Chains A and B, each alone.
Chain A
Amino acid sequence: MAAHAKKAQQFARQLFKMSLADGAVSAERVAGVLAYVGKHRPANPVMVLKAYHRLVAADLARGQAVVEHAGSLNDAALAAIAAAMTGRYGRKVAAVARQNDALLAGLRIRVGDDTYESSVAGQLATLAASV
């Protein structure tokens, strides 16, 4: 079972590499990879597709900055955040706004596994943790 999972992971990585165009996941290439997988079913197709989905999702998350905010956020600030993240990570990062009233006020930015936060809720949580 472990050997099958390892082989599926390796095959998924190969498929993921085939899905990249200029260092980023391309929708066309992903469609082509899926068509290939549908035509030539590998061993353990479900396991392979799950691993492939996880890799693609992680790469998309690395190229996407989810900006949670409470209250309104203007487009200029969103563009500034995208530009700052692109410069920081050295790859194109798109900023996506998402309303989150639990923050009370402020922003929380998620890029892949990284989180940047400057919000009232975060400061209150820090205050509660430090007491």
Chain B
Amino acid sequence: MLSSLLIFAQVAVPAAEAAAAHGEAATGITKITQDFGISVPNILAQILSFSLVAFLLWKFAFKPVLATLDERQQKIASGLQYAEEMKAKLEAAQQESAVIIKRAQVEATKIVDEARKSAKDFLDRQTQESVAKANDILVKAQQAIELEHRKMLADARTEIARLVVATTQRVLARELSEADRTRYNDAAARELTSV
């Protein structure tokens, strides 16, 4: 850009000098070209220099910058695509994890229900067994009490009979006279010999 201005300045100075030299002779387009100092060789030279500068800038400045920009654009696009993919994967993973969590919750609920049911069944069974054992113990205790009662009655009856017999024996041993014994012996002898 700076070089273009220098070239324009170099072309403008001779044009002003030429206008001053010719004065009133210039008219129309010629006058305009003269007033603005436009010269075909200068224009061509400027176009050539501008094209050369533009080509150099395009070749060594704009093109690498554009390449860099394109590369960055591609990187950004790929990054955004990757982010989108990651977002999609994240959503899929979240959905999958949600499904897994829901399934796990269902299974956990099922397991807890089964455990509660098992615990309830076990408790009921234990309760029934305990009641049955308690009833069995009660029945056995009642039977033992009954047996003990009968045994006590039998012992008492036996003891009373023994006491009665012993007392009777003592009384008879003291009260029976010799004549009574002789009479009883004769009767016994008759009884035993007659059998």
Contact = CB atoms under 8 A, between A and B. Distances in A.
Contact of B169 (A73, A83, A104): A104
A77 B161 contact: no
B178 A72 contact: yes
Interface string A104-120: 11110100000010111
Interface stretch (A11-19, A20-28, A121-129): A121-129
A124 B192 contact: no
A121 B191 CA distance: 16
Given A101-B173, A127-B165, A128-B165, A107 B192 contact: yes
B127 interface: no
B162 interface: yes
Contacts of A72: 178, 181-182, 185
Contact of B188 (A83, A119, A125, A127): A119
Contact of B161 (A71, A74, A109, A131): A131
Interface in B90-128: none
Interface residues of A, number: 27
Contacts of A69: 185
B185 A106 contact: yes
B128 to A, nearest CB: 47
Given A77-B189, A80-B193, A107-B192, A121 B169 contact: yes
A81 interface: yes
B185 A127 contact: no
Interface in B177-191: 178, 180-182, 184-189, 191
Interface of B is mostly: helix
Nearest to B172: A104
B165 A107 contact: no
B193 A120 contact: no
Interface string A68-91: 011111100100110110000000
A70 B181 contact: yes
Given A71-B178, A116-B192, A104 B185 contact: no
B148 to A, nearest CB: 20
Contacts of B178: 71-72
Nearest to B162: A128
A120 B184 contact: yes
Interface in B144-195: 157-158, 160-162, 164-165, 168-169, 172-173, 176, 178, 180-182, 184-189, 191-195
5 contacts: A104-B172, A116-B195, A118-B191, A128-B158, A131-B158
Interface of B: 157-158, 160-162, 164-165, 168-169, 172-173, 176, 178, 180-182, 184-189, 191-195
Closest 4 CB pairs of A and B: A71-B181, A84-B193, A118-B188, A131-B161
